[in-house]
Structure 1
Amino acid sequence: MDVVTSHLGVFGNGLLVSVELSGSTFVLAGLLGLLLACCRISPVVPLRVFGRLYVAALRSVPLLVLLTLFVFGLPEIGLVYSLFWTAVTAMGLYWAAFFCEVIRSGVRAVPRGQIEAGRALGLTFGQILRLVVLPQALRTVIQPLASLLIAVTLNSSLAAAVGVTQELTGQTELLDQQYAQPLVTFGAAALCYVALTLVIGQFAGWLERRLAVLR
């Protein structure tokens, strides 16, 4: 336990970087996933085809393979930027496919009569999405989105495998290499991840109850 107590700052900094990595990935995935969901339900056939192919392709590639492709492949074509943002980009593109399907499931839960009512009022497709469909869809998928955020948080540890050693798992590996106490160091890291997921779950529950009252 001396390894953990004497390196609390290391675990704290690693946890902070993991939160930044997961949060940035989730925001990027959310924006891209929302656009993909709009494409998938669009009346424009090419957009629907693009959305379907994107989701099918990205969900078929292991995340670690995609991370490796971005980190070691992009410099080969002249695109060089920090490892942190390379990882965020790769993971954001990957998780956008899953975000899209979560949003699309929420859209399917919106009664079709409300969509028809919007059309009867003369609303455009974009207005129906913005004013009628998406506000209700997002309320119904709070828990699935929380589960997705937990998955993003836990899988952010894969960034350590491609050189993002500042995050929690990367820092834990460095400590283990120095002290050779994997049970203690990785046990402490596991507790940090458990704490993160519990916070996400509690916040999602509070948000769901809050929106239920506002309906």
Structure 2
Amino acid sequence: MASDLEVVPLRHYGRWVSGVLILAVVVGIVLAFVDAQIIWEDVPEFFTHETMIRGLLNTIVLAVLAQVGAIALGVVIALMRISVNPVARWFAVGYIWLFRGLPVLLQILVWFNLALVFEHISIPMLFEEKTNVLITAFVAALLGLGLNESAYMAEIVRAGLTSVDSGQVEAAKSIGMTPALTLRRVVLPQAMRVIIPPTGNNFINMLKGTSMASVIGFLELIHAANNIASRNLEVMETLLAAAAWYMVLVSIASIGQHYLERAYGRAG
């Protein structure tokens, strides 16, 4: 009879074995760092070092300005990309192809060395200035990071805009809404649910990508850590302090992304 059958619980031995192995690896890594030749008590000092704080502020300013500029320019390029005007559409295609295709570091270096090609930058009858005065390390990093990111943002925004059902756009036109009003009140609120997640991920990458500005002497977290280490030779300690700041920034950005996604998800 079925009632006489013994119920044998399913045992997942593989889970236990894999769990023990993972814990063993984690414990081994932690113990290796604890026993390593690292002066752990100096890490908090470098974490709050004046140079490190300046590098932190510069990292935040550079990342935020580059991302904001990239979003604004990306929206424009995305609208050109889906435009019925063939000139605007092909310009957008070429823009995305160029700035998405070149490595970010290369773009930063090109902007930083622009004075080798153009000695002056001028607008006829308005102003003229030496290129090496206008294109500082900060400006070169801002242009390199921002223009590269704007190409990705253009594709993200385009995907968001095209995800909205065309029938809703036609309905908005039928009640007399202008294209600009339709975009602001009908298309964008729905497209944001598609745009926000990858934009949040890109901003996190932007925070970390600012480290590439260190190669042109811009004082961000990595360059700050190198400056401190050059005086006390505690390389790993200063790098760990910079790593801790990156984790703080990424955690804050991730929390902000979570709440934005939830807000737009609820709105939809």
TM-score normalised by length of structure 1: 0.91
Q: How does 1:110-149 map to 2 (within 5 A)?
A: 110-149=164-203
Between the aligned partners of 2:115 and 2:76, the Cα distance in structure 1 is 24
CA distance in 2, matches of 1:108, 1:156: 31
AA aligned to 2:236 is: L
**What is residue 179 of structure 1 aligned with on the other side?**
232
Gaps of 5+ in 2: 1-39, 121-130
State the alpha-carbon separation in 2 of the partners of residues 206 and 74 from structure 1.
Answer: 43
Q: Secondary structure at the match of 1:141?
A: helix
1:41 aligns with 2:82: yes
Partner of 2:103: 62
Asked whether the equivalents of residues 192 and 264 of structure 2 are also in contact (C-alpha less than 8 Å), the reply is no
Deviation at 1:104, TM superposition (A): 1.1
Report the Cα distance in structure 1 between the residues aligned to 2:140 and 2:94, rounded to whole angstroms.
23
Q: Please, which of 137, 141, 144 is the counterpart of residue 83 of structure 1?
A: 137
Deviations 1:155-207 (A, max 9, x none): 1110011110x211110111222222222211221121111111111111112
Partner of 2:43: 4
Aligned partner of 1:52 among 79, 93, 98: 93
Structure 1 runs of 4+ with >4 Å offset:
none
Taking a change above 3 Å as real, the CA distance of residues 148 and 116 of structure 1, as seen in their structure-2 partners, is: same
Quote the offset at 1:2 in angstroms. Answer: 4.9
Amino acid at match of 2:150: A
Of residues 81, 103, 115, the one that matches 2:157 is 103
- For 1:190-205, list aligned pairs within 5 A: 190-205=243-258
Which structure shows the bigger proportion of residues in helix conformation? Answer: 1
* Cα 1:140–1:211 shift into 2, 3 Å: same
Identity of aligned residues (%): 29
Q: Mark the structure with the bigger radius of gyration.
A: 2
What is the CA distance between 1:122 and its match in structure 2? 4.2
Q: How does the TM-score come out when normalised to structure 2?
A: 0.74
Counterpart-to-counterpart distance in 2, 1:84 and 1:143: 28
Structure 1 SS opposite 2:101: coil
Residue 211 of structure 1 corresponds to 264
Flag the structure with more relative contact order, 1 or 2, with Cα contacts below 8 A and sequence separation at least 6.
Answer: 1
- The alignment's C-alpha RMSD in Å is 1.8
Deviations along 1:114-172, one digit per CA (max 9) or x if unpaired, are 122223334444343233222321233211110010111111110011110x2111101
The answer to whether 1:168 aligns with 2:209 is no
Aligned equivalents of 1:28, 1:3: Cα separation in 2? 38
* Long gaps (5+) in structure 1: none
